[in-house]
Amino acid sequence: MNNQSSQKKSSDVWAGAWVPSLYLGEALPFSAVMLISVIMFKEFGLTDGQITFYTGWLGLPWVIKPIWSPIIDNLKTKRWWIVSMQFLMGVALALVAFTLPTEFWLKGTLAIFMVVAFSSATHDISADGFYIIALPDKKQELYVGVRNTFYRIGMVIGQGGLVLLAGFLQEISHTSSTQSRCSFLLPHFEWMVVFVILGVLMLLLALYHAFILPKVETVVHDRFDFMEQMREFGRTLKVFVTKPHLISALCFILLFRLPEGLLTKIVPLFLTRSAAEGGLAMSDVDFGLIYGTLGVIGLLLGGIVGGWAVSKWGLKKCLWPLVLCITLPDIVYVYLSYFPTTDLWLAGVCVCVEQIGYGLGFAAYTLFLVTFSRGERSTAVFSICTAGQYLGGVMIPGMVSGLISENIGYQNFFWLVMAFCLVTFTVTAFVKIKEN
Distance, in Å, from the CA atom of 382 to the CA atom of 93, rounded to the nearest integer, reads: 30
Enter the pTM of the model. 0.85
CA atoms within 13 A on the CB side of 6: 3
One-letter amino acid identity for 211?
Answer: F
- Looking at residue 322, what is its pLDDT? 92
CATH number (domain holding residue 301): 1.20.1250.20
Would 79 be classed as within a structural domain?
Answer: yes
Helix (H/G/I), strand (E/B), else coil: 100: coil
Q: Are residues 176 and 259 in the same domain?
A: no
CA distance 325 to 364: 10
Q: Would you say residue 23 lies in a domain?
A: yes
Residue 76, beta-bridge partner list: 221
Contact status, residue 315 vs residue 367, Cβ threshold 8 Å:
yes
Q: What is the pLDDT of residues 299-312, one digit of tens each?
A: 888 888 888 888 78
Query: Taking Cα atoms as reference points, which of 434, 387, 381, 423 lies closest to residue 256?
Result: 423
pLDDT at 147: 79
pLDDT at 180: 53
Structural domains in the chain (count): 2
Query: Are 73 and 125 contained in the same domain?
Result: yes
380 forms beta bridges with none
> Do residues 286 and 393 both lie within one domain?
yes
Span 191-209, pLDDT tens digits: 999 999 999 999 999 999 9
Q: Is residue 161 part of a domain?
A: yes
Instruction: Measure the CA–CA gap between 84 and 219, rounded to whole angstroms.
Output: 18
Same domain, 21 and 76: yes
203 with 256, same domain?
no
**Both 30 and 135 in a single domain?**
yes
The verdict on 298 and 407 lying in the same domain is: yes
Is residue 304 situated within a structural domain?
Answer: yes
Examine the domain organization and report whether 125 and 266 are in the same domain.
no
Can you tell me whether residue 221 is helix, strand or coil?
strand
| Same domain, yes or no: 57 and 163 | yes
Note whether residue 224 is domain-resident: no
Whether 158 and 272 share a structural domain: no
Domain that holds residue 186: 17-213
Are residues 179 and 62 part of one domain?
yes
Q: Dihedral sign for Cα 398, 91, 107, 102, please.
A: positive
Where b means 16+ CB within 10 Å and e means fewer, 115-145 reads: bbbbbbbbbbbbbbbbbeebbeeebeeebee
pLDDT in tens for each of the 436 residues of the chain? Answer: 444 454 555 555 577 789 889 999 999 999 999 889 999 999 898 999 999 999 999 989 998 888 877 777 777 888 999 999 999 999 999 999 999 988 899 999 999 999 999 999 999 888 888 887 887 767 766 676 777 788 888 888 888 888 888 888 887 766 655 555 444 456 588 899 999 999 999 999 999 999 999 888 766 656 666 677 778 778 888 888 888 889 999 999 999 999 999 999 999 999 999 988 999 999 888 998 898 888 888 888 888 888 888 878 888 888 999 999 999 999 999 999 999 988 889 999 999 999 999 989 888 888 888 888 878 777 778 888 888 888 988 899 999 999 999 999 999 999 999 999 999 999 999 988 876 5
For residue 230, tell me if it sits in a domain. Answer: no
